[in-house]
């Protein structure tokens, strides 16, 4: 039985081991998620180390249980990239910010100023908090989606 999809024939889908698409021929899209359980406090969380070259696709975060109640309370989320040759520095054009006016469980997206990475780069989520009035936010989730080119190492 021949397979035909938009002019393609079964020679494109032979099923032979030599013809199969393996991990070294495909761009890998991955995601990494971090969770802060409890009061959101200042922290730096290493998210991943790159195996090859790639592109950052999306970075988003949300407060999930209680938004900050004090008018001066803020949570700022940033994404930094660093490696043996360079110190950690932001890859966002602006940080993600949460205040007492933020809508609970509404993800906010970061915009990339630099979305490219290379092998051995490390991506780190940096969380800062400020303010003294009333209570800080409780529980946070952050997700980074990226595409990485195949590598044999």
Residue 25: predicted pLDDT: 61
Given a cut of 70, the residues of the chain with pLDDT beneath it are 1-26, 152-153
CA atoms of 81 and 70, how far apart (whole Å) = 31
What φ, ψ does residue 3 adopt, rounded to 5°?
-105, 130
What ranges make up the beta strands (E) of 3-132?
28-39, 43-49, 54-66, 74-83, 86-90, 92-94, 96-98, 108-112, 116-117, 122-130
Residue 8: predicted pLDDT: 47
Residue 67: predicted pLDDT: 94
CA atoms of 54 and 6, how far apart (whole Å) = 30
Element (H, E) at 138: strand 138-148
How far from 85 is each of 52, 82, 101, CA to CA, in Å?
16, 8, 40
Residue 151: predicted pLDDT: 73
Residues 9-47, buried b or exposed e (16+ Cβ, 10 A)?
A: eeeeeeeeeeeeeeeeeeeeeeebebebeeebeeeeeeb
What φ, ψ does residue 13 adopt, rounded to 5°?
-130, 50
**pTM (predicted TM-score):** 0.81
Give the residue carrying structure tokens 């991506």.
123
Residue 28: predicted pLDDT: 80
């Amino acid at each position: 039985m021949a397979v035909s999809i938009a002019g393609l024939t079964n020679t494109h889908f032979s099923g032979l081991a030599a013809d199969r698409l393996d991990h070294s021929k495909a761009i890998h899209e991955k995601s990494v998620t971090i969770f802060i359980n409890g009061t959101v406090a200042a922290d730096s969380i290493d998210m991943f180390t790159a195996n090859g070259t790639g592109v950052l696709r999306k970075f988003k975060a949300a407060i999930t249980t209680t938004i900050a109640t004090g008018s001066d309370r803020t949570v700022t989320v940033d994404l930094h990239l660093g490696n043996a040759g360079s110190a950690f520095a932001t890859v966002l054009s602006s940080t993600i910010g949460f205040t007492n006016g933020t809508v609970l469980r509404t993800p906010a997206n970061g915009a990339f100023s630099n979305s490219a990475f290379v092998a051995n780069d490390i991506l780190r989520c940096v969380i800062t908090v400020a303010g003294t009035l009333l209570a800080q936010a409780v529980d946070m989730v952050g997700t980074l989606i990226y595409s990485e080119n195949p590598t044999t190492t």
